[in-house]
Structure 1
Amino acid sequence: MDKKLTEDLVLEQENKLCKAIKDGNVSMLDELLHKDLLFIIPSGEVITKEVDLKTYRDGVLKIDELAPVIENLNIIDDMAVITLTMTLKGKYNEVAFEATYRYIRFWKKFDGGIRVVGGSGIAI
């Protein structure tokens, strides 16, 4: 899968990521997130890929509804930077929540495809 990095490819992978988040699909998340991922969650804490996967594996985060709206997508050489807002409804530690977040994600092209290498999310 040595595809050129295009907007269509990034959006296709972004859609897979959103579906994996909604479905709690740990194997798909494992495929889409780079092993050295760093992500800043809305609390301000920096998490790794393993911490993120554990959240889904342990059932801590369960998403019932997810509505992403892409704001910007820039391709810079072998990297894509995407910003989006996302309304989420679900449970975190069995406590119901509904909120809108703004995310930035960095997708990087590797020999095997593209993966998220970093990002951040804040409540808006």
Structure 2
Amino acid sequence: MTKDAILELENRLYSAIKESDLQALDELLHEDLLFIAPSGEVITKEIDLKTYREGQLKITELEPQIENLHIIDDTAVITLTIEMKGNYNGQPFEAKYRYIRFWKHTSQGIRIIGGSGTQIPI
């Protein structure tokens, strides 16, 4: 696991989010994923995929800025801010978020095992 590999996976994740690419998201998210959404809700992999499958979330613009990336044994911890524009449940939004995401090397490859996001002022 290298920083370059994680950054490549992050870029693949951004594309999958913008394109609502369920196959790519399914490959990147660990089966036991736990993520705290900006609303405070705990999201599992199935809940996240359902959001995209049902068209509840559509991202039109996504601009990430990596803040920190640390490799700790078989796990990578990344913090970043993302400015996003899109539509959630029929309502347009534009916001900036700070995320922490955990990537872990597993027998299936490197997968996202957890994270959290919170909205911050633009």
Match of 1:45 in 2: 41
RMSD of aligned alpha carbons: 0.5
TM-score, scaled relative to structure 1? 0.95
Matches within 5 A, 1:85-100: 85-100=81-96
Matches within 5 A, 1:27-106: 27-106=23-102
Which gives a bigger RCO, structure 1 or 2 (Cα 8 Å, sep 6+)? 1
Q: Deviations over 1:62-105 (max 9, x none)?
A: 00000000000000000000000000000001100000000000
Distance 2:48 2:104 in 1: 18
Q: Deviations over 1:21-60 (max 9, x none)?
A: 0111011000000000000000001010000000000000
Distance 2:117 2:17 in 1: 14
TM-score, scaled relative to structure 2? 0.97
**Aligned residue pairs, count:** 120
Shift of 1:112: 2.9
| Moved segments of 4+, more than 6 Å | none
Shift of 1:110: 1.3
